[in-house]
Amino acid sequence: MKVALENLRKEFGKLVAVDNLSLEIKDKHFVSFLGPSGCGKTTTLRMIAGLLAPSSGKIFFDGKDVTEMTPQDRKVGLVFQDYAVFPHMNAYNNIAWGLKIRRVPKQEIKKKVTEVAELLNVNDILRTMPSSMNQSELQRVALARTLVTNPSVLLLDEPLSNIDAALRARMRTELKRLQLDIMQTVIYVTHDQIEAMSMSDEVAVMNLGVLQQFGSPDEIYNHPNNRFVAGFIGSPPMNFIDVSLEEEGDRLYLDQGTFRMDVTKYGKTIKEGASSSELTLGIRPEDLLIDAQRTSKTDVEASIFAVEPIGSESIVNVMAGGTTIRVIASDEVTAKLGKTSYVGFDVDKIHLIDKKTEKVMV
């Protein structure tokens, strides 16, 4: 099922929760709506489901306008973060509930419940009550209850937010496997970038009700549209350094005050996109190098003020020219607090952002 949103808008009084949202979700693709709390992602999901009526705009399923249709007529499947299984019914009856209210014959119900139970590996707990299930089993039962009705689109509203980190990592893999098995269009709401980036074919990054970027995880990570996307995606987040653009003859430099960087190779792009000489230099922590000795004349002198071990690597926090910079360093790098070190930039990996418009030029 292909889902298209056309100039979708939702207002709650003076609050604009979703502002002029247009995008197309391809058939059988896994798409995540990603953003901070209050960005409009759940409101968008509820409009797709038919639980909320848009203030304006249209929603299409395979080219058919469903904007005025009821949730039942849209035949969507919706799984909430609390799973909402019926506590007085065992797993079998929970899964079968949607078929029973449609008056599907008993033998067909049994056949369909058995099939979806095997798909989700819950066939051995079909007689178990929810009070005796763990979080993983509860989620599987909730998904099975939705899938057994053969929905046109599967809508998931932060289904992993209430489980611990280890189980969440395993369930991410299983959800993606499930989507590939059923070849279903899935729309997934999350504030967790790891979930969105690891499972999705495309990600819609939202902020304050506005779509910031829609593309593959690789596109969003490596080619962010603006400063918000660049800073929201990535852990630890991208470093941002205020710089001024200076031209000397046929060369272009970024001047931070304590260091300069030759960006002549980006000259045409900068001149076409910059609204002024005031820019922001963005670079991810993994694209920086740190060493106790200067290895290049372009290395920046810095003082280490914090080291955060993260297993085989460490996040080294340094101060350079009054700016805090995070660097991901391997265990081979000896980082000592208060010591002077040198940070090297990979110019091929930098991002240049117009300070006024916040658009990424490079």
Contacts of 235 by beta carbon, 8 Å cutoff, 6+ apart? 193, 194
pLDDT confidence tier of residue 295, bands split at 50, 70 and 90:
confident
Mean pLDDT of 272-291: 94
- 335-344, pLDDT tens digit by residue? 677 778 899 9
* pLDDT higher than 80, residue 113: yes
Determine if residue 93 is left, alpha or beta; phi over 0 gives left, psi from -120 to 50 gives alpha, anything else beta: alpha
> Concatenated DSSP letters for 93-105?
HHHHHHHHHTT--
For 27-52, b/e burial (b = at least 16 CB within 10 A) is eebbbbbbbeeebbbbbbbbbbbbeb
Distance of alpha carbon 94 from alpha carbon 268, whole angstroms: 61
164, pLDDT greater than 90: no
Q: Which residue is associated with the tokens 């969105």?
A: 196
Q: Of 33-47, 57-71, 295-309, give the lowest mean pLDDT range.
A: 295-309
pLDDT computed for residue 91 by the predictor: 95
Parallel, antiparallel, or unpaired for β 154-157 and 77-79? parallel
> How high is the pLDDT of residue 335?
62
Return the pLDDT at 331.
67
Cα dihedral 58, 61, 64, 67 in deg (nearest 10): -30
Is the pLDDT confidence value at 318 over 80? Answer: yes
C-beta of residue 32 within 8 angstroms of C-beta of residue 189: yes
Query: Out of 56-65, 291-300, 311-320, which region has the weakest mean confidence (pLDDT)?
Result: 291-300
**Mean pLDDT value across residues 106-130:** 92
Distance CA 287, CA 284 (A): 5
CATH topology of domain 3-232: Rossmann fold (3.40.50)
Average of per-residue pLDDT values in the chain: 92
Assess contact for 233 and 194: CB atoms under 8 A.
Answer: no
Percent of the chain with pLDDT over 70: 99
pLDDT of residue 332: 62
Report the Cα 95 to chain-centroid distance in Å: 30
**Cβ-based neighbour number of residue 126 at 10 Å:** 18
In angstroms, rounded to a whole number, what is the distance separating the alpha carbons of residues 57 and 37?
23
- Residue 356: which H helix or E strand, with range? none
**Model pLDDT, residue 240:** 97
Task: Give the residue with greater pLDDT, 358 vs 171.
Answer: 358
Percent of all residues in the chain with a pLDDT value above 90, rounded to a whole number: 70
What SS3 state is found at 14? Answer: coil
pLDDT of residue 334: 59
pLDDT: which is higher, 253 or 80: 253
- The C-alpha atoms of residue 344 and residue 320 are separated, in whole angstroms, by 12
> Which tens digit of pLDDT belongs to each residue from 230-241?
999 999 999 999
Question: In the predicted model, is pLDDT for residue 180 greater than 90?
Answer: no
At 5 the pLDDT is 98
**Burial label, 195 (beta-carbon count in 10 A; 0-12, 13-18, 19+):** buried
Helix (H, G, I), strand (E, B) or coil at 339: coil
Instruction: Residue 99: name the closest of 87, 114, 121 by CA.
Output: 114
**So where are the chain's domains?**
3-232, 239-354
Q: Strand pairing partners for 360?
A: 353
Mean pLDDT across 107-132: 92
* CATH of 239-354 given 2.40.160.10, 3.40.50.300, 2.40.50.140, 3.90.400.10: 2.40.50.140
| 179 confidence band (pLDDT: 50, 70, 90) | confident
**Between 96 and 312, residue with greater pLDDT:** 96
Structure tokens belonging to residue 221:
């990570």
